[in-house]
Amino acid sequence: MKKFIKLVGCGLLLVSSLALAQTPYTEDSTYRGLGGKEGIKKIVDTFIVLITTDPRIKDSFTDFDMEQLNARLQEQFCEFAGGPCKYTGKYHDKAMEGVGPVRDMKTVHQDLKITNAMFNALTEDLQIALERHDVPSSISNKLVAKLAPMQRDIVTK
C-alpha cells in the first residue's frame, strides 16, 4: 500500500512539473514598468484630464461617459502591457449581424470623425501623462507601439 501511495505521489509530481513547464511565460515587464494596476490608474486619470482639456480634441469627448472610458482604458492598457487584466469594453469582439465579428476599436470610434492629427494629439497627451508619472521612455514606447496599429481602425476622416 505504502509503495502504491509513493508511486501515485511521484506520478502526480511528474504531471504537475510537466504542467508547470508548459505554462507560457507571460512577459509583464511593461506592466511592472507602468507601476502595475495602481500606476496605470494614476496614468489614465492624468490622461483623461489632458484629453478633455486639450483644445485639439476635447470636443470629441463631450456627451460621453468619461468614468466608463477611464475604466475601459485602464483595463486595455493593463492588458496590452502584459498585466493580469482583460478589456471588457462593450464592443469587445462584438459579433455584428451580417458582418461577423468586428474589430472592437473600429466600432467604438467609427462615428467620431477622427483625423490623423487628432490621433496624434491623443498619443502626445498619453506620452505627457506617462512622463508625468516618471515612466521610463523604454516602457512608454512599448505601450505606445501597441496602440499605434489601431490608427487605421480609429482614423476615419
36 vs 61, beta carbon nearer ligand HEM: 61
Contact between residue 74 and residue 40 where contact means Cβ atoms under 8 Å apart: yes
DSSP codes of every residue in 9-77: HHHHHHHHHHHHHHSPPP--HHHHHTTHHHHHHHHHHHHHHHHHH-TTTGGGGTTS-HHHHHHHHHHHH
Amino acid at 118: M
* Position 78 contacts ligand HEM (CB under 6 A): no
Q: CB 154 → ligand HEM: shortest distance, Å?
A: 5
Q: CB 71 → ligand HEM: shortest distance, Å?
A: 8
- DSSP single-letter state for residue 113: -
108 vs 139, beta carbon nearer ligand HEM: 108
Residue from 33, 39, 83, 89 touching ligand HEM (CB under 6 A): that is 89
Instruction: Name the burial class of residue 98, with classes exposed (0-12), middle (13-18) and buried (19+) by CB atoms within 10 angstroms of its CB.
Output: exposed
Instruction: Identify residues 16-75 at the interface with ligand HEM (CB under 6 A).
Output: 57, 60-61, 64, 68-69, 72-73
Task: Say whether 100 sits in a helix, a strand or coil.
Answer: strand
Residue from 30, 74, 76, 127 touching ligand HEM (CB under 6 A): that is 76
Residue from 28, 35, 37, 147 touching ligand HEM (CB under 6 A): that is 147
Residues that bind ligand HEM (CB under 6 A): 57, 60-61, 64, 68-69, 72-73, 76, 89-91, 108-109, 112, 114, 118-119, 122, 147, 150, 154
